[in-house]
Amino acid sequence: MKPRPITDGVRMLATLDGDRRLFDALIPLPDGTSYNAYLVQGRDRVALLDTSDADRGHELREALADVPRIDVVIAHHAEQDHSGQLPWILDRYPQAVALATARGKGMLVDHLRIPETRVRAVADGETLDLGGKTLEFLHTPWVHWPETMCTWLREDRILFSCDFFGSHLATTDVFVKDEARVLDAAKRYYAEIMMPFRAAIQRNLEKLKRLDLSMIAPSHGPVYGRPAPILDAYRDWVSDRVRNLVVLPWVSMHGSTARLVRRLVDELADRGVAVEPFDMTAVDLGRLATALVDAATLVVGTPTVLVGPHPAVIYAAALANALKPKLRHAAVVGSYGWSGKAVEQIAALLPDLKVEVLGTVLCKGLPQEADYQAVARLAGTIAEKHRALGLA
């Protein structure tokens, strides 16, 4: 897209990637994404904040065709979807210097082979006067890499937040128009990328409290002309609050586990507990991750393959363990044909989750009445635990 103004002297250069359907060879992108760079023009100097993904660099180069001068390039984050065009920028503008955190400088040198002399490390709270436009650099480590930072434009009260508050949306909207849609995409983005760093994000949200924000300009998705909704959403997502919700990833090979899962969903619903089941043979992993953001309980449903859980369920458990949601409880339901250690292996896949294991229901072959009664007892236990948390 052509450079588009967001306020006087500040323009967005958004590269839309509507066809991209996978990020990091892992994260589904149902709505594509954007790679946002921003030009800040002062009286004396011009700053470019971030660049673009290397595979779509021609679009950024076209957008900069009529920009004769760039003095500084702010590298908020070394990941290539933000820094991929930094080598070209530094070649195109030989007087320019890149600014990053000290750790970011080392990563840019390592990842992109940029000469160390072209990158300068900036301190937390350091400022740069462009001439009527003052940039303040705010270190925000582990949002979501160790070297990340944001930039605060004092005069216009704009926070350039990089991945912080981002959303994967290939939209031509410069500013948020459909708030519900963007917040839904931002929650998915948080779930897939930010959730493992919840404690660090809590600290960095506190750091932003002193800022009187008029806009938040992330590196993915539209600009928040009204920052309060996304700030409130992040405070909720990183808090210790959970919902009266069970997330239930499951697989069934011959129908036995499916019967237990259907009965558990009914029993939980009868007790006022919401359930989101996910058939792992046809799952949108982003939806699963999003559901985990504020769920109170994880129940895994698996048949036994040879002597262990189904590989698709192993993946679901490993994903939950990696994302580290604020779950309180976990349980397992499933079936086996002759023998197996599905329960033990599922538990071993969740070492980073501080959860109370509420029990297991494992049937041999098709479920019998005793198995359904055990499912009902498990549902009752889950409901009681949720009530004890004040959720029901």
Is the pLDDT at 33 greater than 70? The verdict is: yes
Which position has the higher pLDDT, 21 or 323?
323
At a CB cut-off of 8 Å and minimum separation 6, what does 303 contact? 251, 252, 253, 254, 256, 257, 309, 310, 334, 335, 336, 342
Q: What is the pLDDT of residue 301?
A: 95
d(CA 326, CA 195): 9
d(CA 293, CA 75): 29
Task: Tokens for 38, please give them.
Answer: 């921003």
Q: Which residues of 37-55 are buried (b: 16+ CB within 10 A; e: fewer)?
A: bbbbbbeebbbbbbbbbbe
Task: Tokens for 105, please give them.
Answer: 């400088």
pTM: 0.94
Residue 201: pLDDT band by 50, 70, 90 thresholds?
very high
Q: What would the 3-class secondary structure string for 142-172 be?
A: CCCCCCCEEEEECCCCEEEEECCCCCCCCCC
Average pLDDT over residues 220-229: 98
Q: What is the pLDDT of residue 339?
A: 66
Q: Please identify which residue in the block is written with the tokens 């912080």.
A: 164
CATH number of 247-385: 3.40.50.360
- Tally: H helices and E strands in the chain: 12, 20
47-92 residue pLDDT tens: 999 999 988 888 999 999 999 999 999 999 999 999 999 999 999 9
Average pLDDT over residues 19-43: 88
Is the pLDDT at 392 greater than 80? The verdict is: no
346-369 residue pLDDT tens: 878 788 898 999 989 999 999 999
Q: What is the pLDDT of residue 340?
A: 66
Residue 336: pLDDT band by 50, 70, 90 thresholds?
confident
Q: Which of 293, 287, 301, 354 is nearest to 325 (CA)?
A: 293
Residue 300: pLDDT band by 50, 70, 90 thresholds?
very high
Q: Please identify which residue in the block is written with the tokens 């197996």.
A: 340
103-132 residue pLDDT tens: 999 999 999 999 999 999 999 999 999 999
Counting beta carbons within 10 angstroms of the beta carbon of residue 63, is it exposed (0 to 12), middle (13 to 18) or buried (19 or more)? buried
306-335 residue pLDDT tens: 878 899 999 999 999 999 999 999 999 999
In CATH, what is the architecture of 4-238?
4-Layer Sandwich (3.60)
Could you state, in order of their start, the residue ranges of all structural domains in the chain?
A: 4-238, 247-385
